[in-house]
Each structure stands twice: as C-alpha cells, then as structure tokens.
C-alpha cells in the first residue's frame, strides 16, 4: 500500500520532450513508473521513447486512463498547464517547477481545491511510492517498507530516506510539499493519508523554519495513532533572512525553530536534532536494532 499513487498508477508527463522532462522521464521509468503518455505541443501523434505524445492533456485523457501527471514546464506557462490537467479531471498533479508567480500559484491551488485534485508542489522534488515515482528524487535512495515521509526539504529528505534504506527500513510513500509560500498540500493533508494507510507504521516529518505548517501539523499529530519523528532545518538561521526556500523565513518572531520544536514535542512527536538521529528514533519505534 501507499498514498496517492502506486505501481498500478498510469502517469502522464507534461513537457516530456524538454531537457528536464526527457531526463527525468527515463529516471522515472527506470524506477518502475508506468508512464503511459506525454504532452508536447507541436509533436502530437509521434512517439517519444515508445510513449505516445499528445497536443493536450484532454487528448491524452481521451486515449488513456490517467491517474497522475507531473509537470516539467517553464514557470511562465505552468499555470495554464496545471489548469489544463485539473480541468481534464486528473486527481494527482505534481508541479516540479520553481519561480512560479505567487498569483499563479494561488489560482492553481484554489482551482484544484474546487475540483478536488491534489497538488504536490510547486517547487518540489515530487513524490514516490514503490515502483511509482513522479519527480526528480534519486532512485537509489528508496526501498519499500513501513515508513511514510512528508517533507519541505528535498536534499535532507534524500539523506534521511537513504539512511533509512541503508539500515533496511523502507518507505510506503515519500512526499515533497515544496518550499514556496503557496504549497498545494500541507503536512496535515499527508499526515491524514498516512494515518489511514494500513502499511504505514511510522511517519517522518521533515520541516524547516518559517510559516506555521509544522505548528498546524502538531495539532493533528495529537490525534494520530501512529508515531511521528520530526526533523527541522534552519536551527541557526538569522531572523528575517530567507534560507533557501521562499517559505523558509522567520518574520515578526513567528516560525522560529524553537517554537516549532516546542509545538511538535508537546504534540508527542519525537524531534531529532540531527538527521542521523531520525534513523535511530525510527529504529527504536519499530523495534528494529
């Protein structure tokens, strides 16, 4: 089991013939992802590495059952591409692109809510369930197992997931929320899914300073039956200075590292000070040496 997608999911790639799209398409397929179609305006009717190309998302959906799509589209065109996927009825939409205008992100996220579609991103590494990857995550880090992972930080996630894999602890699903100010999904959205997934026995939350997403997650964690291990990036970040992601900034004293640790700890989550401690805490919770 997994959340959002699994090995049986049919996947579309928008922008499949571009530099980034074509590279990561091959990586996704090597991971086991069932890529059934691509959208590349001006190239419809052709094949790309054996995958049929279409002019529009709607056309692709008329020929295939599409469960999820991943966008490798330049920021200026991403709003239109995402809205096209939403209107075509696709329920899981992963937006890798960064530097999308905030107003465009607001339009995408609000329309997705109306159509009950799940947006992962923008500015995300994507997500992966075993044999179904949508995005740019390195294939070698992941393995199947009982841990669900939800994160705002890409590189830290790769490190933590790779470390879990190295000690024989795999993952049900790994989800990157993205680091922009207007994420399509929240920690709470994914925690709810992991809570009801029967194969997820423990959840790892990788957060960072800025905003209140971790504090909101803490309120939900109080209601969860499954243990949560958290790690937060940005312990030494100075107030008012953006650290990497657009959303990772402490403003007016809110979104501090200390405040988030306090909220998560009070909710019952085990908070790791260093990434390697996440593995130790998960091993203890799962009863694995």
Would you state the pLDDT for residue 24? 98
Mean pLDDT value of segment 182-201:
97
Integer-rounded Cα Rg, in Å, for the chain is 18
Residue 196 token pair = 């009801």
Which of the residue ranges 23-32, 150-159, 246-255 would you say has the lowest mean pLDDT? Answer: 246-255
Q: Distance between alpha carbon 56 and the CA centroid of its chain, in Å?
A: 25
φ, ψ dihedrals at 176, nearest 5°: -100, 115
CATH domain 11-120 topology: Rossmann fold (3.40.50)
HEC-encoded secondary structure of 190-216: HHHHHHHCCCCCEEEEEEECCCCHHHH
Handedness of CA 23, 25, 30, 31 (dihedral sign): positive
Q: What does the angle CA 206 – CA 67 – CA 171 come to, to the nearest 5 degrees?
A: 30
Is there a catalytic annotation at residue 245? yes
**pLDDT band for position 35 (50/70/90)?**
very high
97 annotated to a ligand binding site: yes
Would you state the pLDDT for residue 93? 98
260 annotated to a ligand binding site: no
pTM above 0.85, yes or no: yes
19 annotated to a ligand binding site: yes
Proportion of the chain above pLDDT 70, given as a percent:
93
Predicted confidence (pLDDT) at residue 251 exceeds the cutoff of 60: no
Would you state the pLDDT for residue 73? 97
C-alpha–C-alpha distance, residues 117 and 56, integer Å: 18
Would you state the pLDDT for residue 253? 55
Is the domain spanning 138-286 CATH 2.70.70.10? The answer is: no
Domain with CATH 3.40.50.720 in the chain: 11-120
- Annotated active-site residue in 24, 63, 99, 245: 245
**% helix / strand / coil in the chain, to the nearest 5?**
35, 25, 40
Residue 104 token pair = 């465009």
Domain with CATH 3.40.50.261 in the chain: 138-286
């Amino acid at each position: 089991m997994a959340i959002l997608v699994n090995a049986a999911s049919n996947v579309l790639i928008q922008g499949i013939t571009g530099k980034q799209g074509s590279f990561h398409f091959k990586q996704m397929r090597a991971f086991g992802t069932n890529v059934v179609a691509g959208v590349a305006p001006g190239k419809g009717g052709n094949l790309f590495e054996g995958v049929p190309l279409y002019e529009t998302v709607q056309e692709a959906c008329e020929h295939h059952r599409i469960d999820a799509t991943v966008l490798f589209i330049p920021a200026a065109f991403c709003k239109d591409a995402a809205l096209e996927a939403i209107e075509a009825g696709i329920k899981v939409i992963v937006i890798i692109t960064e530097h999308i205008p905030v107003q465009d992100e607001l339009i995408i996220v609000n329309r997705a809510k109306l159509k009950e579609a799940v947006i992962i991103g923008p500015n995300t590494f994507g997500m992966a369930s075993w044999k179904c990857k949508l995005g740019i995550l390195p294939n070698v880090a992941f393995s199947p197992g009982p841990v669900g992972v939800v994160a705002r930080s890409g590189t830290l996630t790769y490190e933590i997931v790779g470390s879990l894999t190295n000690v024989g602890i795999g993952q049900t699903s790994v989800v990157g929320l993205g680091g922009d100010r207007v994420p399509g999904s929240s920690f709470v959205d994914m925690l709810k899914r992991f809570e009801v997934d029967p194969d997820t026995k423990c959840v790892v939350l990788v957060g960072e300073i800025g905003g209140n997403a971790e504090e909101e997650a803490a309120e939900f964690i109080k209601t969860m039956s499954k243990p949560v291990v958290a790690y937060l990036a940005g312990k030494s970040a100075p107030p008012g200075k953006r650290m990497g992601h657009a959303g990772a900034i402490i403003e007016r004293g809110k979104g501090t590292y200390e405040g988030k640790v306090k909220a998560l700890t009070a909710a019952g989550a085990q908070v790791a000070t260093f990434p390697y401690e996440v593995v130790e805490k998960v091993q203890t919770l799962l009863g694995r040496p």
